[in-house]
Amino acid sequence: MANGLIVPDPQNPGSFIIPALGKRAEISQLREGDVYDSGQVASGAISAGTEIIFFSSVTDKNLQHKNFNHPGRVPAGMELAVNRIGLVVAQAQGNTMASDDDVIKIAYSGALKVKINERTIAEGPAFTFQSGYGVVGSTTRTDTGVVTIGMPSFAAAPQLLVVQPIRDDDDLAPTLTWPNNAWITSNAMPTLDGRTVLTILLHGVVKTPLGK
The per-residue pLDDT for 33 is 93
Q: Mean pLDDT, to the nearest integer, of 101-129?
A: 95
Per-residue pLDDT at 190 exceeds 90: yes
C-alpha 128/C-alpha 151 separation (Å) is 11
C-alpha 109/C-alpha 187 separation (Å) is 11
Digit-coded pLDDT (tens) for 5-58:
899 999 888 899 999 999 899 989 999 999 999 999 999 999 999 999 999 999
Beta bridge partners of 8: 16
